[in-house]
Amino acid sequence: MFETPLTGLVLSGGGARAAYQVGVLRAVARMRRQALGPVARLRTPFGVISGTSAGAINAAALACHADRFDSAVELITKVWQNFAAEQVYRADSLGVMRSGAQWLTMLSAGWLIARWRRARPRSLLDNSPLIELLRRLVPLERLPMMFEQRQLHALAVTASSYSSGEHYTFYDAAQPVEPWQRSQRVARPTRLSHAHLLASSAIPFVFPATSLAGQGVPGWFGDGSMRQTAPLSAAIHLGARRLLIIGAGRIQDAPGRVVPAADYPSLAQIAGHALSSIFLDALAVDVERLRRINRTLALLPDEALADTPLKPIEALLISPSQRIDEIAAHHVGALPRPVRSLLRGVGVGGEGADARGAALASYLLFESSFTRELVALGEADAEARRDEVLHFFGWDRPRPGRRPRAPAGPDIWLP
């Protein structure tokens, strides 16, 4: 049975930046083993798991293995530490020419030529290889069993409808949860599929939209970070009373940070800035909103607190201590040559101090040299806040009685 109070895990989006989340989770799993002993190798400490974009894939993988949390974390870590772009999108010359080159041609030569040639490229890159990775990494057929065994309370993933303009939360739960609706936000209970994960992780312009018509939802869907005004909402609606929130970028830079003036921004710089706004800003605003509500509730007398539907939510936010785009600048050269050539057309180039457009590249850098560094950063950042993590979960408090030994069970393996 999942722990009480019900703890939620919120994983934000960010393409290849989501490797950072795995490092944080790996450190959290290690802290729990050290605090609680072998029994901690069993079920997940998170009763509710909510994910967006690449975070939705991590979230679903954890949920499907909720009965083997440590093994699940190590499995996901192994995938992220050994990533190659070819596992996520077509990075060969032919694949890049069929998608990105034609797409850029339409931008430069106009839709008239594209219409004459009957070319209909849908995105900069073709993410069809991701389908096979999802089938191996996220065995959704195990999810009903996790609910039935009360290993997990709920899983939610988000996507944005290009057709209606609304932001959707798709969720599945052990017990019926009344769907909610807010301005431009819709929640829908459903049997989650790999199509939902493809839709949630479809970075705008970069990856093609996904149709969810076969899932009972008409229209085309893209990345769940778009129009996501309340990233914490799903986990709270599904019953979480405390939240571990893992970001994929610095939530706030140091005050007074000065960026020297440079040439007119390239398309890559503008695109990187736009993606950062999509992936990072809403999370920062929602965390601040949660803290503000908590401060207000703390001022209310008990009688008034009992009359309000609002309840204080304990939250712990862990986000990168370093700027991810600066890390990415040292790994741009790791991208496959056809992808580098494609991105050079929008202003990505150089490496290290001479790198240009590294922010955009950071979302596409599914290469082990980059993802390994992010995993290590996540571990280091979580360890630096060990006392906060232990206190948040209550693992710093002594537990009476002898700890039971965990029964031996098979590890998860990736075929």
- Please name the residues in contact with 133: beta carbons below 8 A apart, sequence gap of 6 or more: 79, 87, 88
Which of 8-22, 106-120, 340-354 has maximum average pLDDT? 8-22
Higher-scoring residue by pLDDT: 321, 95: 321
Higher-scoring residue by pLDDT: 392, 258: 392
**Chain Cα centroid distance, residue 101:** 28
Say whether the peptide bond before residue 5 is cis (omega within 30 degrees of 0): yes
Sign of the dihedral through C-alpha 198, 200, 201, 204? positive
Residue 404's pLDDT is what?
41
Within 10 angstroms of residue 230's Cβ, the number of other Cβ atoms is 18
The rounded percent of the chain whose pLDDT value lies above 70 is: 85
* Region at 25 (left for phi over 0; alpha for psi -120 to 50; beta for the rest): alpha
Q: Which amino acid is at 82?
A: N
Nearest partner of 192 among 153, 156, 237, judged by Cα: 156
Report DSSP letters for 172-201, one per residue: EESS-----EETTEEEEE----HHHHHHHT
381-408: per-residue pLDDT in tens? Answer: 999 999 999 999 999 876 655 444 443 3
Residue 65's pLDDT is what?
96
Residue 403's pLDDT is what?
46
Give 338's Cβ-side CA count (13 Å radius): 18
Out of 141-155, 279-293, 330-344, 368-382, least confident range? 279-293
- Please name the residues in contact with 129: beta carbons below 8 A apart, sequence gap of 6 or more: 86, 87, 88, 89, 90
Out of 120-124, 144-148, 214-218, 389-393, least confident range? 120-124
Cβ-contact 32, 3 below 8 angstroms: no
345-363: per-residue pLDDT in tens? Answer: 788 888 787 788 888 899 9
Mean pLDDT of all residues belonging to the chain: 85
Nearest partner of 350 among 330, 368, 324, judged by Cα: 330
Residue 365 has pLDDT above 90, yes or no: yes
Residue 252 has pLDDT above 80, yes or no: no
Nearest partner of 382 among 291, 246, 279, judged by Cα: 246
Residue 127 has pLDDT above 70, yes or no: yes
Distance, in Å, from the CA atom of 378 to the CA atom of 80, rounded to the nearest integer, reads 12
| Residue 121 banded pLDDT, cuts 50, 70, 90 | low
Cβ-contact 230, 182 below 8 angstroms: yes
**Chain Cα centroid distance, residue 213:** 24
Cβ-contact 294, 312 below 8 angstroms: yes
Residue 321 has pLDDT above 90, yes or no: yes
Q: What is the mean pLDDT of residues 118-134?
A: 82
Task: With 0.75 as the threshold, say if the pTM is over it.
Answer: yes
69-89: per-residue pLDDT in tens? Answer: 999 999 999 999 999 999 999
Distance, in Å, from the CA atom of 72 to the CA atom of 285, rounded to the nearest integer, reads 31
Distance, in Å, from the CA atom of 248 to the CA atom of 362, rounded to the nearest integer, reads 11
Structural Rg of the chain based on CA atoms: 21
174-216: per-residue pLDDT in tens? Answer: 999 999 998 889 999 999 999 999 999 999 888 999 999 877 7
Out of 37-51, 325-339, 398-412, least confident range? 398-412
| Residue 274 banded pLDDT, cuts 50, 70, 90 | confident
Distance, in Å, from the CA atom of 153 to the CA atom of 3, rounded to the nearest integer, reads 10
Cβ-contact 7, 46 below 8 angstroms: yes
Helix, coil or strand: residue 156? strand
Residue 40 has pLDDT above 90, yes or no: no
| Residue 118 banded pLDDT, cuts 50, 70, 90 | low
Residue 119's pLDDT is what?
54
Type and span of the H or E element at 182: strand 181-182
Provide the β-strand partners of residue 397: none
